[in-house]
C-alpha cells in the first residue's frame, strides 16, 4: 500500500499547508506526503483545506495527547461538556449522542464515565474473550474456506469486531448488519467534505441506534446478565452515577469505535503482511512475536490518522502560540512514520522494538478498548494464517475514501481451498 507519488496539489510553503484529503493520490497512500512533511524540517503548519493547524512529529503528537493544557474540546461548563447548541436542527439526534460521548467530554464527567466503562475492559474480562473471539473467527472462516478465494473485508474483517463487541456489551449478534450500517453512517460525519446526504444518513442512524439501545437496556433491566449493559444499569442505580442518555451515548461509542477501527486494523494488517516477504505463520505461533507483529501493523498502517485537540489556555506548540480554544490536529499516521523515532520508518518490521506508536492515542482519551483490539488482531491473524495455507493477495488493494479512518473497501485474497 505504498508508492512514491505526492498529491498534485500538495505544497508546504512556510506555515501554509495545501493538501486535499479527498485526492486519491493522498488517501490511497498518504505516507509519501508524511515523509515530505518530516523532510521539511518543520513540525506544524496551517492546513488550508482542513481549516486548522496540524502537527506531525511523534514527540509533539505524543506530548499533546497527554498534557492537560489541551483537551478534546473546550468545555462549556464546569462538568466538562461541550456546547452543541449551534449545530443545525437536522443533526440534533446525532449531536445529542455526541453531547454525552466519552470522546467529546472532559473531566469531571469524562472521569466518571470512563471509570465505569473501564470495568468492562479489565484484563481478566478481556482475556476471557479469547475463546469467544477464536470461535467467531473460525465460524467466519468456515463460510469461505472451501472457496479458495475471498474478500476478507466483507467476509471477515467487517464481521468479527462487531460480533465480538456485541457479545461483550450484551446486545444480540442478530442485528450485526444494522449495527454495521449505523456505525458506517455515523462515522461519515467525521470525514472531510461531508455532504448534507452524509448528515441526513447519520441523523437517521443516530435516531434508530438510540431507539434500539433503549429497548435493549429495558430488556436488560428485566433480565440482567454478565455484560456491559447490565454493569452500566447497576451503576445507574448507584446514587445516579449514570443517566439513561449517558448510557446510550456510551454504548453507541463503544459499538462504533469497537467495530470501525478494528475492522481497518485487521484489514490493514493482513494487507501489510501479504505485501511483504514475511512468514506470518511462524511469527503468530509465538505470543511474544505475535504481539510485536500486531504492534508493528498498528504503527505501519494505523486506522486512525487524525485526532483533534483544543488548547485550554494560551500555549506554545512547535514554536507557534495557540490561543485558548484553538484546535490543532495531530497526524497520528505521520507521527508513526517519524524517522527521528523509528529506524527505517517506511519498512514493515515485525520484530521492531521498542515501538512507541500513537495509534491508540494517549492521556485520558487513550483508547479504552485497546486491550480488546490487540487481542482481536492477534487471534484474527493467527486463525487466518493457520487455517488458510498459501494465503496471498489476489488483486489490487482498494482503499476507502475516508482518510481519517484509513481502511480498505475490499481485500481480495486466494488460498488453498479447505475441504469441508
| CATH number of the domain enclosing 405 | 1.10.630.10
- Annotate 375-413 with b (16+ C-beta within 10 A) or e (fewer): bbbbbbbbbbbeebeebeebeebebbebbbbbbbebbbb
Residue 106: how many other CB atoms lie within 10 Å: 21
323 in a structural domain: no
Give the CA-trace dihedral at 181, 186, 191, 195, to 10 degrees: 90
**Gyration radius from the chain CA atoms:** 21
Q: List the domain range (segments joined by +) for residue 135.
A: 76-301+368-414
287 in a structural domain: yes
pLDDT digits (tens, 9 = 90+) for 323-343: 999 999 999 999 999 999 999
**According to the model, what pLDDT value does residue 238 have?**
63
Domain count, the chain: 1
Distance in Å from the first CA to the final CA of the chain? 33
35 in a structural domain: no
192 in a structural domain: yes
5 in a structural domain: no
237 in a structural domain: yes
Three-class SS of 111-169: HHHHHHHHHHHCHHHHHCCHHHHHHHHHHHHHCCCCCCEEEHHHHHHCCHHHHHHHHHH
331 in a structural domain: no
**According to the model, what pLDDT value does residue 4 have?**
65
131 in a structural domain: yes
Task: Return averaged pLDDT per consecutive 10 residues of the chain, 420 residues in all.
Answer: 77 96 94 97 94 96 96 94 92 95 94 85 82 97 97 96 89 82 89 88 96 93 88 73 89 86 96 94 94 98 95 94 96 98 97 96 93 96 97 94 91 92
pLDDT digits (tens, 9 = 90+) for 272-330: 999 998 999 999 999 999 999 999 999 999 999 999 999 999 999 999 999 999 999 99
pLDDT digits (tens, 9 = 90+) for 192-209: 778 999 999 999 999 999
Cα–Cα distance measured from residue 283 to residue 4, given in angstroms and rounded to the nearest whole number: 29
Amino acid at each position: 500500500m505504498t508508492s512514491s507519488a505526492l498529491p498534485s496539489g500538495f505544497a508546504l510553503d512556510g506555515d501554509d499547508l495545501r493538501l486535499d484529503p479527498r485526492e486519491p493520490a493522498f488517501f490511497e497512500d498518504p505516507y509519501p506526503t508524511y515523509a515530505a512533511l518530516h523532510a521539511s524540517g518543520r513540525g506544524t503548519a496551517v492546513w488550508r483545506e482542513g481549516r486548522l493547524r496540524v502537527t506531525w512529529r511523534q514527540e509533539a503528537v505524543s506530548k499533546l495527547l497527554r498534557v492537560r493544557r489541551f483537551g478534546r474540546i473546550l468545555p462549556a461548563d464546569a462538568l466538562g461538556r461541550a456546547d452543541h447548541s449551534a449545530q443545525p436542527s437536522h443533526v440534533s439526534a446525532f449531536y445529542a449522542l455526541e453531547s454525552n460521548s466519552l470522546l467529546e467530554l472532559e473531566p469531571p464527567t469524562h472521569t466518571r464515565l470512563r471509570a465505569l466503562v473501564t470495568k468492562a475492559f479489565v484484563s481478566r474480562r478481556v482475556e476471557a474473550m479469547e475463546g469467544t473471539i477464536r470461535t467467531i473467527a473460525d465460524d467466519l472462516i468456515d463460510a469461505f474456506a472451501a472457496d479458495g478465494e475471498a474478500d476478507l473485508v466483507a467476509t471477515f474483517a467487517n464481521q468479527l469486531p462487531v460480533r465480538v463487541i456485541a457479545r461483550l456489551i450484551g446486545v444480540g449478534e442478530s442485528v450485526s448488519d444494522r449495527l454495521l450500517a449505523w456505525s458506517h453512517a455515523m462515522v461519515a460525519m467525521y470525514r472531510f467534505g461531508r455532504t448534507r446526504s452524509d448528515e441526513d444518513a447519520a441523523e437517521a442512524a443516530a435516531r434508530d441506534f438510540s431507539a434500539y439501545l433503549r429497548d435493549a437496556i429495558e430488556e436488560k433491566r428485566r433480565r440482567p446478565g454478565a455484560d456491559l449493559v447490565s454493569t452500566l444499569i447497576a451503576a445507574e442505580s448507584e446514587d445516579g452515577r449514570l443517566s439513561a442518555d449517558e448510557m446510550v451515548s456510551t454504548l453507541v461509542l463503544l459499538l462504533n469505535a469497537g467495530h470501525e477501527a478494528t475492522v481497518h486494523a485487521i484489514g490493514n494488517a493482513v494487507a501489510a503482511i501479504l505485501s511483504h516477504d514475511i512468514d506470518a505463520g511462524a511469527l503468530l505461533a509465538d505470543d511474544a512475536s505475535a504481539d510485536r507483529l500486531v504492534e508493528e501493523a498498528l504503527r505501519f498502517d494505523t486506522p486512525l490518522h487524525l485526532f483533534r485537540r483544543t488548547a485550554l489556555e494560551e500555549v506554545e506548540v512547535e514554536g507557534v502560540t495557540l490561543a485558548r480554544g484553538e484546535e490543532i490536529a495531530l497526524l497520528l499516521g505521520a507521527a508513526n512514520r517519524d524517522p527521528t523515532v523509528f529506524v527505517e520508518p517506511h519498512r514493515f518490521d515485525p520484530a521492531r522494538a521498542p515501538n512507541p506508536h500513537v495509534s491508540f492515542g494517549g492521556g485520558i482519551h487513550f483508547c479504552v478498548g485497546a486491550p480488546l483490539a490487540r487481542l482481536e488482531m492477534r487471534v484474527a491473524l493467527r486463525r487466518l494464517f493457520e487455517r488458510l495455507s498459501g494465503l496471498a493477495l489476489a488483486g489490487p488493494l482498494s482503499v476507502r475514501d475516508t482518510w481519517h479512518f484509513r481502511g480498505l473497501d475490499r481485500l481480495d485474497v486466494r488460498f488453498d481451498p479447505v475441504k469441508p
